[in-house]
Amino acid sequence: MLQHPQVKGPGVGLLGFSKGAEVSLAMAAFLKNILAVASLNAPVAVTAIPLSYKNKIIPTVALHEHKAKATNSKFLDYSDGMDDPFQAPGDQSRIPLEKGEAQLLFMVGQDDCVVKSEYHATEVCKLLQAQGKKNFQILSYPGTGHCIDPPFFPLYHIGSHPVFHKRAALGGELRAYSKAQVHAWSQIQAFFKKYLIVN
């Protein structure tokens, strides 16, 4: 990416959602030249496929389908199905964000029914702060589910769980989701302008 003629450098920014944000956070932990990551409703632990980088392998966090809860719509809320990445044994799967230097913007929906994204972001920022780091920010959106799309995308209440391959509740309420879309998009742009554009 740094060789691309439209990339000014000296580094790049990453925008990721869900598993894509998990991968973006892992890149920030291990790769140089990642200056900024905007993470939308990401777990901060490795899911589904072990992460392998050089001689390091991070195992996947355990997922428990039996911990899913039925919602009012009769679809399943899987947010409690993942081992806690801040306690054993889940902590062996946590992405070591303290190793990276990138600026981190965590955007989380308080009604995320796939990942406890607000909890993940809050706890990882506590760890970073305890190590004297200040390279993080959390934007938390009430009434917003797993999807935080660009403005004017339709709200999807239901999706397919990426691991269990079953219909899953994604969470969110239309008005709150619509407001979050507009706010989040402006914040993402401002974040990248602040940390990527060299004057």
Is 140 among the catalytic positions? no
Is 4 among the catalytic positions? no
Find, among 14, 182, 22, the residue nearest to 114 by Cα: 22
Going by C-beta distance under 8 Å and a sequence separation of 6 or more, which residues neighbour residue 134? none
Is 18 among the catalytic positions? yes
Q: Which of 120, 146, 157, 161 is catalytic?
A: 146
Whether the link from the prior residue into 5 is cis, omega within 30° of 0, is: no
Q: Which of 77, 83, 111, 112 is catalytic?
A: 112
Evaluate whether 9 touches 152 at the Cβ level (below 8 Å).
Answer: no
Evaluate whether 121 touches 108 at the Cβ level (below 8 Å).
Answer: yes
Q: Which of 18, 24, 39, 93 is catalytic?
A: 18
Mind telling me the catalytic residues?
A: 18, 112, 146
